Amino acid sequence: MRSHPIADGTARGLALEALATGLAYAAGLCWASVCLLASFAPAELSAPYWDGLPGLRSDTCGIVAFFAAGICFGVAEYLRSRRGQRAPSVAGRERPAGRARASALAASKTAAILASGLVVYLSINAVVHPATLGLPATHLASWPNEGTLRVAALLLCVCSVAALRYLRPGRPRRRHRRMAAIASSVAWGMDQDSPLTSGMDPGMAPPRSQPERASRTARVRANAVTRFWLVTTIILGAGGLLVIAVVILFPPSAPRYGMADPYFVGETAGTQASQVAAMKAIGITSLRFDADWASVQHAGPRMFDWAQLDQAVNSARTAGLSVDLTITGCPTWAASESTRGDPSPTPASPALYARWAADVAARYSPMGVNTFEIWNEPNNALFWSPKANPSAYTADLVAAYSAIKAVDPSALVISGGLAPEPTDGTNMSAIDFLKAMYANGAKGSFDALGYHPYSFPALPRTYEPWSAWSQMARTHPSIRSVMASNGDSGKPIWITEFGAPTGGPRGVGAAAQAAALSQAIADTKATSWIGALYMYTWQDKNTDPGAHQEWFGLLTAGGSRKPAYGEVARSLG
C-alpha cells in the first residue's frame, strides 16, 4: 500500500509544514503590529503599512494578516497532526491521525489562538479607548462593533478549547493502567527463561506494554497542552497588566468639547450669560466665535472697536469656558485690490493679516485665551473670494503663526477649519487643499489641523466616500493620510464645526441630528488624534424653510430644546 508522504514525515511534508509555520508567524506579527497601532497610534491606521504599497492601508493590512495567519497556522497544524500525531485504535494499536480528526484538531487550535488574541487585543483597546466598544470593529463594515466581537471571540475561545480537550486522547483510567502493569509483570516473569530474555538481569524493570506506552504518550501531550496555555496566559496577562499600568500612569489627554456659535458676539450680555451657563450645564467646556477684523477695524488701520468682542470673551471666561477665537474677516482698507468688492475680501498681504493676528493675541492672551484659529473654511469661495487659493492662504497662515507665537509662545494655533467642498474650479476639496497647503510650506505653522467633517444626511459612522467624516481617516487618500505622509501624524485634528440641520431644504430631522451628534461625541472619545469637537450650533437663528444653515441649533429659534440637546447632555455627562 502506498504511504502518505506527510504521515511518514518525508522531506516534502516537513518543508510544507515549515513554510506554513513561518508564514503564520510572519502574518501574526504583522497583525500584532497593527493592533499596537490601533491601541496607541490610531491615526496611523489610515496610513500605508509599507511605502512600497501606498494603496494598502495599515488597518486593511491588519485584517488580511489576521486571516492569513489563521489559514497558515491551520495548515501547519494539519500537516503536523498528519505527520506525527498518533491516536490509539480500538484494538490498542497505533495509527496515524485520520484526515478528519487532523482537520478538526487544526481548526480547533487555530480558532483558540486567534480568538484568544482577539479577546486580549479588544480588552486592551477598551482600557485605552473605552468608547471603542460601541464602534465598528473594522473600517470595512458597520457591524459588528468591538463589544460584540469581543463576546463572540470569548465564546469561540471557550468552544475551541473544549473541542481540543475532546479531540486529544485523554489519560486512561487508573484501574486500567494498574491492570496493564500487572499483566506486563506476569508476562515478564513467565518469559524469563525464554531464549529472548535469558541474558537479561532479573532485577531489570519489565518493558512497558503497549497500553502503558499509549498512556504515557497521552500524559506527555496533555502536559504539553497545559504548559502551552499556562505560558500563553502568563505572557498575555503580564502584557495586559503592563498596558493598564502605562494607561494609568500616562493617561491620554481628554478632548475639548465646545460650541461653535457665530451669533454669540452679537448677543446682549444677559443673553450671553444665560447661554454659557446652559452650555456649561450640559458639559460644554469651550466656545468658538469670530474675532472679525472687519468689525473691529472697519474705520481704518489706527481705529479699534473692541467693545463687542471684549464682552463676548468676558462672558465666556467669567463662566469658566475656554475660547477659540477664529481670526477672520478683512476690512476694505486692508483687502487686496482685486477682492474689495467681493463678499469675503482677502488680506492684501500676509504682513497686514499677521499684524491683526498679533493684535488679537496681545489683547486676549492676558484674559486667558490661548487658542487661535487662522481663518474659517479657506477652501470655500464663500469665505475666501473670489475662489480658494491655498498658496495665498498658506502665506497668511505662516505669517500669523509666527506673529501669535511671538506674543504668546504657549498659544495653540489651529489652521482654518476646512469645509466639505468639491474641487470645482472655485472651491477645493479639503484633501486637495491640505495637499496644496503642505506643498506651499504650511508644515510647522500650525499646532492642530482645523476641520469641519459635516456628513449629513449620512451619520458619522456610515461610510460614504463623499462624507467629510469618512474622509477624515477612512478614505484613500484621507486627511490623516495626507498629514502622515507629510510627517504630521502626531498632530491632532480639531473639529471646529460639526452638526446637522433639522429643517430647511437639506434638513435631516430632529432624531437624525441627535444621532449624528451622539456618534460624533462617541467617536471623538474613542479617537486619540481628535483634539476637540465643536458642535454647530447653540440655537437656530431664524425659521426660513429655504435656508438649511439656520437649523443647526440644539435649541429652536423660540428657545425650545431639540432631542439633540438631551443627547449631547447624556453623551457628555
What domains sit in the chain, N to C, each tagged with a CATH number?
11-193+205-249 (no CATH), 256-287+314-322+330-344+361-572 (3.20.20.80)
- Are 516 and 455 within 8 A, CB to CB? yes
Q: Are strands 86-88 and 94-96 parallel, antiparallel or unpaired?
A: antiparallel
Tell me what the mean pLDDT of segment 231-248 comes to. Answer: 59
Q: How many CB atoms lie within 10 A of CB 357?
A: 27
465: pLDDT strictly greater than 80? yes
Q: Each residue of 139-161: pLDDT tens digit? A: 666 567 777 887 888 888 888 88
Q: Name the pLDDT band for 91 (thresholds 50, 70, 90).
A: very low
Give the integer Cα–Cα distance in Å for 399 and 409: 14
269: pLDDT strictly greater than 70? yes
- What residue has cell string 467693545? 307
Q: Name the pLDDT band for 239 (thresholds 50, 70, 90).
A: low
Q: Name the pLDDT band for 99 (thresholds 50, 70, 90).
A: confident
Work out whether the CA dihedral 210, 212, 215, 217 comes out positive or negative: negative
| 412-417, strands of its sheet edge to edge | 412-417, 371-376, 322-328, 286-292, 256-260, 530-536, 493-498, 449-451
End-to-end CA distance of the chain: 74
Q: Could you give the percent of the chain with pLDDT greater than 90? A: 51
Q: Each residue of 562-573: pLDDT tens digit? A: 999 999 999 998
Among 57-61, 172-176, 201-205, 495-499, name the most confident range: 495-499
542: pLDDT strictly greater than 50? yes
Give the integer Cα–Cα distance in Å for 278 and 144: 37
95: pLDDT strictly greater than 50? no
Q: Name the pLDDT band for 93 (thresholds 50, 70, 90).
A: very low
Rg (CA), the chain: 34
pLDDT at residue 213, as a whole number? 62
The interaxial angle of helices 146-167 and 99-128, nearest 10 deg, is: 150
Q: What average pLDDT does the chain have?
A: 83
DSSP assignment letter at 49: S
Who's near 15: CB < 8 A, 6+ residues apart?
none
pLDDT at residue 179, as a whole number? 54
